[in-house]
Amino acid sequence: MRVHVLYFASLREKVMASEASRELQDGACVGDLWNTLCREHPALEPMSASVSFAVNREYASRDQALRDGDEVALIPPVSGGR
Amino acid sequence: MRVHVLYFASLREKVMASEASRELQDGACVGDLWNTLCREHPALEPMSASVSFAVNREYASRDQALRDGDEVALIPPVSGGR
Amino acid sequence: MFEIHREPIDVAKVVAAVAHPAAGAVTTFLGTTRDNNEGRQVTLLEYEAYPEMAIAEMRRIGDTARQRWPIQEIAIAHRVGIVPIGEASVVIAVSSAHRAAAFEACRFAIDRLKEVVPIWKKEHFDGGEVWIGSQVGDVFPGGETEPRK
Amino acid sequence: MFEIHREPIDVAKVVAAVAHPAAGAVTTFLGTTRDNNEGRQVTLLEYEAYPEMAIAEMRRIGDTARQRWPIQEIAIAHRVGIVPIGEASVVIAVSSAHRAAAFEACRFAIDRLKEVVPIWKKEHFDGGEVWIGSQVGDVFPGGETEPRK
């Protein structure tokens, strides 16, 4: 299956791209995609503890299964502030 | 001594005047002025429990002594609301 | 900025009055004329002020807010005369570095304004009119029967 | 009204979006660019959004606010791109019959927005720039190290 990946903010700058397409094994989950991307872009690895994910514009956990055509967004910590 | 009296809102309508001057005995206090006004305008009497007073634009208690030239405002309950 | 006037209140102007380069938060409160009250169909509200004292009391609310919270600026504008349905009779704006102070100080300012600032509201409704708070038998909004200080 | 755009936010327009004849209170919150942060002289902030999801999350915040408080209307506008010192990056407005609901729902909306809406802030300061929240070693704003749901 193929998924569409969106990078934002600090992650976009680290990979120097705002989007990409990735071929994954059937049954792959969000965490598998993240691990794949980290192997390609070791600069992502330090964000492992803080990155969140959205699948088709809904927050998703790392063990959520992916399906062909999914839009997966890598979401660094949002703006925050008090 | 002579004091200047200001009427607002419901009190203004009851006495049909927005201001007046009153001669008082030396040593008179805010409460004395109110009693004098209630004798002249019995329609004020029902407001006795709810009226507040200001002397020279500061809230004042009924036992505050008045002085010649004071501006005394009769203050019905303020607009309130939640 | 603490002011009372008969014209409609310009919200952007009140917000601009509290602008500050060190402010990360601005809160505002607008009190607007509701079309109903206690089951009555309200047609308009009419406000009357003791302007000199009202401005002084508004300024005092500002001073107290500054003492209690780390705010940058506070502004209060009140309209008098007729205020039609949907229009604002009062606008308060508060700026602060972080939002907690601006929210708390703004809420304090409107609560206190309604208790102490000498401005009165006459409700015009289908079939009559009444000075709010001055209905016969009424006591103070908080239920006290003693005058407030 | 839930919107994201690059132009300066017109506060009066956001307030107008929550106008309602049964509303006696309108609260607003403006998040503005502060000239300093953690001892740094900030020169400007730059915001980036995942617009489709951000709008959906803002709408969800509005739905939750309506479920929790008796409010009339809620509107959220967020600016993206460069936001100079003193200008607003976000404006929230809430209307309700009585003021408690408008204050509480407005506070809830900005707190929640800062936690869940996918919008990021890059701080430009004298000597550098940084994506807030993404400094190396950072965890989530609340201190969790697990992704939020």
pLDDT at C38: 86
pLDDT at B80: 66
**Average pLDDT, rounded, for chain C:** 90
List chain B pLDDT tens, one digit each, 82 residues: 999 999 999 999 999 999 999 999 999 999 999 999 999 999 999 999 999 999 999 999 999 999 999 999 999 988 666 7
pLDDT at A80: 67
Q: Does C70 touch chain A (CB under 8 A)?
A: no
Task: Measure in Å the smallest separation between the Cα of C136 and chain B Cα atoms.
Answer: 7
Q: In whole angstroms, what is the distance from residue C60 CA to residue D116 CA?
A: 39
pLDDT at B79: 67
pLDDT in tens, C5-16: 999 999 999 999
Set of chain A residues whose Cβ sits within 8 Å of the Cβ of D52: 57
Q: In whole angstroms, what is the distance from residue C139 CA to residue C14 CA?
A: 33
Is C53:B54 a contact under the CB 8 Å cutoff?
yes
Is C42:C85 a contact under the CB 8 Å cutoff?
yes
Q: Does C98 touch chain D (CB under 8 A)?
A: no
> Which residue type occupies D70?
P
User: Between chain B and chain C, how many beta carbons pairs sit less than 8 Å apart?
Assistant: 88
Helices (H), ranges, chain D: 11-17, 51-68, 99-116
Task: Measure in Å the smallest separation between the Cα of B10 and chain D Cα atoms.
Answer: 23
Q: Using CB atoms, which residue from A13, A50, A81 is nearest to D139?
A: A50
Q: Over 50: is that where the pLDDT of C81 sits?
A: yes
Predicted TM-score (pTM) of the model is 0.90
Nearest residue on chain C to B51, judged by CA atoms? C147
In the numeric block, the tokens 């919107």 are attached to D3
pLDDT at C145: 38
pLDDT at D139: 37
pLDDT band at C147 (very low <50, low <70, confident <90, very high): very low
Task: Measure in Å the smallest separation between the Cα of B77 and chain D Cα atoms.
Answer: 19
Low-confidence ranges of chain D (pLDDT < 70): 135-149
pLDDT at C90: 97
> Which residue type occupies C3?
E
**ipTM attached to this prediction:** 0.89
pLDDT at D38: 86
Set of chain C residues whose Cβ sits within 8 Å of the Cβ of D30: 15, 25-28
Give the best residue of D103, D114, D132 to mutate against chain C (max C CB count within 10 A): D103
Tell me the three-class secondary structure of B42-54, residue by residue: HHHHHHCCCCEEE
Q: In whole angstroms, what is the distance from residue C135 CA to residue C72 CA?
A: 40
Classify residue A79 as exposed, middle or buried by CB count within 10 Å of its CB (0-12, 13-18, 19+).
buried
State residue C139 phi and psi, 5-degree precision. Answer: -120, -170
Beta bridge partners of D96: D25, D71
Task: Measure in Å the smallest separation between the Cα of B57 and chain C Cα atoms.
Answer: 5
**Residues D11, D14, D17, D20: is their CA dihedral positive or negative?**
negative
Q: In whole angstroms, what is the distance from residue B37 CA to residue C52 CA?
A: 23
Q: Does D129 touch chain A (CB under 8 A)?
A: no
The reply to whether residue B73 touches residue C131, judged by beta carbons under 8 angstroms, is: no
Tell me the three-class secondary structure of chain B, residue by residue: CEEEEEECHHHHHHHCCCEEEEECCCCCEHHHHHHHHHHHCHHHHHHCCCCEEEECCEEECCCCECCCCCEEEEECCCCCCC
Task: Measure in Å the smallest separation between the Cα of D112 and chain B Cα atoms.
Answer: 26
Average pLDDT, stretch C44-67?
97
Is C95:C102 a contact under the CB 8 Å cutoff?
yes
Task: Measure in Å the smallest separation between the Cα of D17 and chain C Cα atoms.
Answer: 12
Q: Does C53 touch chain D (CB under 8 A)?
A: no
Q: In whole angstroms, what is the distance from residue C143 CA to residue B49 CA?
A: 11
Touching partners of A (3+ C-beta pairs < 8 Å): C, D
- With touching defined as 3 or more inter-chain CB pairs under 8 Å, the answer for chains C and D is yes
The reply to whether residue C15 touches residue D30, judged by beta carbons under 8 angstroms, is: yes
Q: Does B80 touch chain D (CB under 8 A)?
A: no
pLDDT at D127: 86
The reply to whether residue B50 touches residue C119, judged by beta carbons under 8 angstroms, is: no
pLDDT at D39: 87
Touching partners of D (3+ C-beta pairs < 8 Å): A, B, C
Region of C128 on the Ramachandran plot (φ > 0 left; ψ -120 to 50 alpha; else beta): left
pLDDT at D113: 96
Q: Does C130 touch chain D (CB under 8 A)?
A: no
Task: Measure in Å the smallest separation between the Cα of A82 and chain C Cα atoms.
Answer: 5
pLDDT at D56: 97
pLDDT in tens, A18-30: 999 999 999 999 9
| Measured CA angle at D42 (ends D40, D46), to 5 deg | 130
Average pLDDT, stretch C77-103?
97
Q: Over 90: is that where the pLDDT of C43 sits?
A: yes
A31 Cβ contact list (under 8 Å, min separation 6): A62, A63
Set of chain B residues whose Cβ sits within 8 Å of the Cβ of C132: 77, 79-81
Set of chain C residues whose Cβ sits within 8 Å of the Cβ of D13: none
User: Between chain A and chain D, how many beta carbons pairs sit less than 8 Å apart?
Assistant: 88
Is D51:D134 a contact under the CB 8 Å cutoff?
no
Is D133:D64 a contact under the CB 8 Å cutoff?
no
Is A3:A65 a contact under the CB 8 Å cutoff?
no
pLDDT at D133: 79
pLDDT at C16: 96
pLDDT band at C135 (very low <50, low <70, confident <90, very high): low
Please count the other Cβ atoms lying within 10 Å of the Cβ belonging to residue A41: 16
Q: Does B13 touch chain C (CB under 8 A)?
A: yes
